[in-house]
Amino acid sequence: MAHYVIGDVQGCYSELQALVKKIKFNPNKDKIIFAGDLVNRGHQSLEVMDFCMRHKGSIKAVLGNHDFYLLYLIEHQKKNKSLKKVLDSKNIQKYHSWLKKLPLLLEIKIKETKETFWISHAGIPYIWDIRMAKKLSKEIQTGMKDDSFKILENIWGDTPKIWNSDLKGYKRSRTIINYFTRMRFLGKDGSLKLKAKKNKADEMHVPWFNQTIKNLKENQYIIFGHWAALEGKTKLTNIIGVDTGCVWGNKLTAIRLEDRKLFQVKKA
Ligand SMILES: [Mn+2]
């Protein structure tokens, strides 16, 4: 049995198929954990969703910003060209109820190596310790169960820019979701710098993981997607990026947690 975390698929089903073959995925034994952004932009989002439905029992996933977007389109009955086939599918209810229940953060413990891996789409900001991050992921998951329509309606926007435990209501849910699914650079005070797209850090903003790394012990790891321009490179051993930009013509990546071996396929 092995655990594989796969980076942003974004509707690249042919590449997912090739990768699953490469890792010799055995749904009776192995587990796949998707790091979010299963759909959108790529042309085969429907096939990716069907893959998840087919192997539900052996698949876990965290929500990415594009998955939230799909949930928004479904619940608010909006249209989108890239997601049309998914939205028009007769299985839409199945996709919806599966996606809606996904967490923002997953914890996987590997017995053999006594290592712990946390997986979230964008990462975990240093201002939250792991306990806090787990609590906030749970808070959104519970919120989505009872109040998804309103949470999704209020999800869009870059503010509040900084986390504060006193935040309430939909500002609070939006901020938590922004940290977990859209974060790249943070200010020194832990504020989100969502507009900063360039890959170079400066005095005002640094990649989130440069600060978070100080919170991790030797046998603790964070795996994240979302930041395709990094091509997975954080220069850190314990924080590993798995979005290698397949949808942008680059690669789709899986990491096997038991030995942290990487498996990659090129965009077809
Ligand atoms: Mn993303």
Q: Is 229 exposed, middle or buried (0-12, 13-18, 19+ CB in 10 A)?
A: middle
Of 75-79, 193-197, 212-216, the one with minimum mean pLDDT is: 193-197
Domains annotated on the chain, with CATH: 3-142+209-266 (3.60.21.10)
Distance 122 CA to ligand 1 centre (A): 7
At residue 203 the predicted structure's pLDDT band, cuts being 50, 70 and 90, is confident
Distance 63 CA to ligand 1 centre (A): 9
N- to C-terminal Cα separation, the chain: 28
Distance 244 CA to ligand 1 centre (A): 12
pLDDT of res. 263 = 98
pLDDT of res. 201 = 67
**Angstrom distances, CA of residue 240 to CA of 10, 52, 219:** 19, 23, 13
What is the dihedral angle through the alpha carbons of 44, 49, 54, 59, rounded to the nearest 10 degrees? 120
Distance 124 CA to ligand 1 centre (A): 14
**Angstrom distances, CA of residue 254 to CA of 27, 51, 100, 227:** 15, 16, 24, 15
What is the dihedral angle through the alpha carbons of 236, 240, 243, 246, rounded to the nearest 10 degrees? 90
What tens digit of pLDDT does each residue of 104-137 get?
A: 999 999 999 999 999 999 999 999 999 999 999 9
Distance 146 CA to ligand 1 centre (A): 25
At residue 197 the predicted structure's pLDDT band, cuts being 50, 70 and 90, is low
Distance 112 CA to ligand 1 centre (A): 31
Residue 204 has pLDDT above 90, yes or no: no
AA letter at 198: K
Distance 145 CA to ligand 1 centre (A): 22
Distance 42 CA to ligand 1 centre (A): 13
Distance 181 CA to ligand 1 centre (A): 6
Portion of the chain with pLDDT greater than 70, in percent = 98
Distance 216 CA to ligand 1 centre (A): 23
Structural Rg of the chain based on CA atoms: 17
Rounded average pLDDT over 73-91: 97
